[in-house]
């Protein structure tokens, strides 16, 4: 797929939030708007479906403090408050802390009323669920190993998360509806805790994921011999067919579906005759040009 530079944003339905190269969380309101709404420094931001609020985690200014908390097994342990979730309104400047702790990967539910996030529970990363303001937080899923990057199913009836061996489709009552071996999905590629699996909002049988792949000599030089490349794939859950979306000349990671399921935003870059600087790419799902749309990483829509 050819790449070209665009001076403005491309086809975002409700705006896009990402981490700017300066480390601050940034929000793009509409297509063609070249002015970003900037927030404090943070990681893994998400935006509410109405485009009015962002949530992300940030590093606390002080060292982790000890506080009593009851874990999933009923034991009492100290809370690590080094990476709390914070919220900020896109308009008006209101902002505040949503939940203390060592937290990761927040995501709004499709209706915008709830949040899920990653939280350390009794020594393993687990999935928590609560109201959009962080209240009524409860443990949703804690697997046999740490699980990562939970995402909502399109109808809001449950979530998808993974450890390094299995994918778990989990209902909101915590029951595992479906479990699939990672190796059956990714094939010869490999994953880490940084990779993501996301069901298309337009097709419940279409699964998007990122994975580590072998790098060409040119790509190996571009990533400073740092262990290969990364690519995006689609997997047909009904038919078991795997399709690589990005070629050997593209490094792609941190994928996120557009709300209509027609394109994917990711962090990446391109090498070759027309090198493209590291930034946010938009990848059409069913063909078309890949375009660079912003400087930054960790996009979410």
* 3: pLDDT strictly greater than 80: no
Return all residues near 226 (Cβ < 8 A) that are at least 6 apart: none
Q: What is the mean pLDDT of the chain?
A: 88
Among 78-87, 218-227, 282-291, the range of highest mean pLDDT: 282-291
25, 19 Cβ separation under 8 angstroms: yes
Q: What is the pTM of this model?
A: 0.88
What does the alpha-carbon distance between residue 180 and residue 237 come to, in Å, rounded to a whole number? Answer: 10
* 288: pLDDT strictly greater than 80: yes
Any idea which of 56-70, 114-128, 174-188, 281-295 has the lowest mean pLDDT? 56-70
The reported pLDDT for the residue numbered 48 is: 95
DSSP classification of residue 36: P
| Pairwise pLDDT comparison (140 vs 6), residue with the higher score | 140
The reported pLDDT for the residue numbered 69 is: 47
* Among 26, 16, 20, residue whose Cα is nearest residue 47: 16
The reported pLDDT for the residue numbered 61 is: 63
Fold exhibited by the domain 3-300: Neuraminidase (2.120.10)
- In angstroms, what CA-CA distances link 43 with 24, 137, 261? 8, 21, 24
Indicate the pairing of strand 197-199 with strand 206-213.
Answer: antiparallel
Quick one: average pLDDT of 270-285? 91
* Among 57, 180, 196, 193, residue whose Cα is nearest residue 115: 57
Among 31-40, 197-206, 268-277, 280-289, the range of highest mean pLDDT: 197-206
Residue 43 forms beta bridges with which residues?
Answer: 57
Helices then strands, each counted (H, E), the chain: 2, 27
The reported pLDDT for the residue numbered 101 is: 93
* 227: pLDDT strictly greater than 80: no
pLDDT, tens digit, 9 for 90 and up, residues 117-151: 999 999 999 999 999 999 999 999 999 999 999 99
The residue extents of the domains of the chain are 3-300
What does the alpha-carbon distance between residue 105 and residue 251 come to, in Å, rounded to a whole number? Answer: 22
For residue 47, how many other CB atoms are within 10 A of its CB?
25
The reported pLDDT for the residue numbered 77 is: 54
Write out the two tokens for 178: 């479906």
The reported pLDDT for the residue numbered 8 is: 33
* 32: pLDDT strictly greater than 80: no
pLDDT, tens digit, 9 for 90 and up, residues 151-173: 999 999 999 999 999 999 999 99
* 10: pLDDT strictly greater than 70: no
pLDDT, tens digit, 9 for 90 and up, residues 50-85: 999 999 999 876 444 444 444 544 444 566 778 999
Q: DSSP string spanning 268-279? A: EEE-SSS-EEEE
pLDDT, tens digit, 9 for 90 and up, residues 230-268: 999 999 999 999 999 999 999 999 999 999 999 999 999
The reported pLDDT for the residue numbered 224 is: 82
């Amino acid at each position: 797929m050819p790449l070209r530079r665009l001076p403005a944003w491309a086809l975002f339905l409700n705006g896009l939030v990402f981490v700017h190269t300066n480390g601050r969380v940034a929000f793009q309101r509409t297509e063609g708007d070249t002015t970003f709404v900037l927030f404090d420094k943070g990681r893994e931001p998400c935006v509410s479906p109405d485009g009015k609020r962002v949530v992300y985690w940030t590093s606390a200014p002080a060292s982790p403090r000890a506080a009593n908390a009851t874990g999933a097994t009923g034991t009492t342990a100290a809370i690590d408050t080094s990476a709390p979730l914070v919220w900020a309104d896109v308009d008006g400047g209101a902002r505040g802390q949503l939940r203390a702790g060592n937290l990761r990967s927040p995501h709004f539910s499709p209706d915008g009323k709830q949040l899920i996030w990653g939280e350390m529970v009794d020594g393993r990363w687990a999935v928590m669920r609560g109201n959009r303001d962080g209240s009524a937080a409860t443990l949703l899923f804690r697997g046999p190993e740490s699980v990562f990057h939970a995402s909502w199913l399109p109808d809001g009836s449950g979530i998808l998360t993974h450890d390094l061996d299995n994918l778990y489709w989990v209902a909101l009552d915590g029951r595992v509806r479906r479990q699939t071996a990672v190796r059956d999905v990714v094939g010869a590629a490999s994953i880490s805790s940084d990779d993501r699996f996301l069901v298309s909002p337009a097709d419940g049988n279409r699964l998007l994921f990122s994975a580590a792949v072998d790098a060409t000599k040119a790509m190996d030089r571009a990533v400073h011999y740092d262990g290969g490349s990364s690519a995006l794939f689609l997997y047909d859950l009904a038919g078991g067919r795997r399709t690589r979306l990005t070629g050997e000349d593209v490094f792609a990671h941190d994928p996120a579906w557009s709300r209509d399921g027609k394109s994917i935003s990711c962090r990446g870059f391109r090498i070759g005759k027309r090198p493209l600087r590291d930034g946010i790419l938009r990848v059409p799902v069913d063909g078309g040009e890949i375009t660079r749309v912003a400087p930054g990483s960790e996009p979410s829509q």
